[in-house]
Amino acid sequence: MKTPPERSAQRGFSLLEMVVAMAVLGLALGALYQASSAATRNVRTDERYAYAVELARSLVADHSVVPETGLRRSGETAGGFAWTVDASPLPRSRDSRLAPGLLQELDVAVSWADGSRRRRVRLVSVVAGQRMDARVP
């Protein structure tokens, strides 16, 4: 009796193995793409947040002395950041020796659009109030 000839060892991959490998590769690349786009969005959001904080800090520094009657200002930067600065006299206790308006509560808010959301940073501080009619030219 004759034995069937032995098959030589197979070389390469079958078509089914290639299809499965391509499917796994596609899923892995899709997951990597989503992760990298989310990371890019987070970096953009963080950069805009940091800019808003620095803008608010500079507005607080620019308004370290305000009129004793208070102040209200607003504006917008070229990058689309809207800001407001509000100063109002702090309430005094009855036995306070401070002149009215000497201490002011300064409220600085910066807001911007981030996609469909509106984001906002707010800094609150206490600054000095000053009589503005006492200036000498």
Is 8 part of any domain?
A: no
Is 123 part of any domain?
A: yes
Distances (CA, A) of 47 to 13, 23, 54, 56, 83: 48, 36, 11, 14, 17
Query: Structural domain tally of the chain?
Result: 1
Listed in sequence order, the DSSP H helices in 3-137 are: 15-62
Dihedral sign of CA atoms 93, 98, 99, 100 in order = negative
Is 51 part of any domain?
A: yes
**Residue 94 belongs to domain spanning:** 15-130
Residue 83: alpha-carbon gap to chain centroid = 14
pLDDT, tens digit only, all 137 positions of the chain: 655 556 556 677 788 888 999 999 999 999 888 888 888 888 888 999 999 999 999 999 999 999 999 999 999 999 999 999 999 999 888 888 888 888 999 999 999 998 889 999 999 999 998 887 655 44
Is 136 part of any domain?
A: no
CB atoms within 10 A of CB 74: 10
pTM for the predicted model, two decimal places: 0.69
Q: Which two tokens stand for residue 39?
A: 């990371």
Is 93 part of any domain?
A: yes
* 102 three-state secondary structure: coil
